Structure 1
Amino acid sequence: MVNHDHYTYRITWSSEDQEFIGLCAEFPSLSYLSENRNTALEGITNLVKDILVDMEQNGEEIPIPISEKSYSGKFQVRITPELHRRLAIEAAEEKVSLNRYVSYKLAY
């Protein structure tokens, strides 16, 4: 079974609930609310652990943790010709390749 500690967790404040909310990127439908940040993390982690046990028992496909996936560093994005042209002009003005320019823009 996959180690539940390898999944991607996030704790954020929920203004709507006035509590911390624990989330897991690989299980976007799950959440755990608590007044305490640490309890929210523990809650979502334990919830994912329980879900993994249940999925395994039922023969369901278990998501691979993001931390255990390999990434090539390449992906394709379709944009309008006008945006492509504008980005190419901006890259030329910065004296860098379009690829480097877009990579920089995505990072910031």
Structure 2
Amino acid sequence: MSTTIPDITHYTYRVSWSPEDQEFVATCLELPSLSWLAPTQDESLQGLRDLVDEVVEDLHRNGEPIPDPLSSRTYSGKFNLRVGERLHRQLAIKAAEEHLSLNQYVVRKLGDAP
């Protein structure tokens, strides 16, 4: 989290069709509580970007932490994952069958995920 104002164009935006609302909905991964509905994709994205700009300015004005864009964050390449004993055994067996380390097997499977 940052105390400086990030460039909001670097945030991760998504626009998708909402069948429930019969409009496009724009969301921002860094600020998941925000969304914007509009009849077109462009209007939805612009509405959300305007809202994000207001919210980020408000956070800054109040001295609250502002999320850094995902694209500017650093990642170590490591994370811990706890799985049950049964799943751990199954993964170890599958890895051994493919002559891979458990780590290589899991990385390959994660890379194959949609």
User: Match for residue 80 of structure 2?
Assistant: 76
In the TM superposition, 1:1-108 aligns within 5 A as 1-107=5-111, 108=113
Once residues 93 and 35 of structure 1 are traced to their aligned partners in structure 2, the CA distance between those partners, rounded to angstroms, is: 52
- Percent identity of equivalent pairs: 50
Equivalent pairs counted in the alignment come to 108
What is the Cα deviation at residue 85 of structure 1?
A: 0.5
RMSD, aligned CA: 0.9
Once residues 15 and 105 of structure 1 are traced to their aligned partners in structure 2, the CA distance between those partners, rounded to angstroms, is: 32
What is the Cα deviation at residue 106 of structure 1?
A: 1.5
- 1:71-92: per-residue Cα shift (whole Å, max 9, x none)? 0111001000110010000011
* Structure 2: segments with no counterpart, 5+ residues: none
TM-score (norm 1): 0.95
* Structure 1: segments with no counterpart, 5+ residues: none
TM-score (norm 2): 0.90
Runs of 4+ in 1 over 6 A off after TM superposition: none
Amino acid aligned to 2:55 = I
What is the Cα deviation at residue 42 of structure 1?
A: 1.2
Q: 1:28 is paired with a residue of what secondary structure?
A: coil
What is the Cα deviation at residue 55 of structure 1?
A: 1.0
What is the Cα deviation at residue 12 of structure 1?
A: 1.1
Once residues 37 and 23 of structure 1 are traced to their aligned partners in structure 2, the CA distance between those partners, rounded to angstroms, is: 11
What is the Cα deviation at residue 18 of structure 1?
A: 0.9
Larger relative contact order, structure 1 or 2 (CA cutoff 8 Å, min sep 6): 2
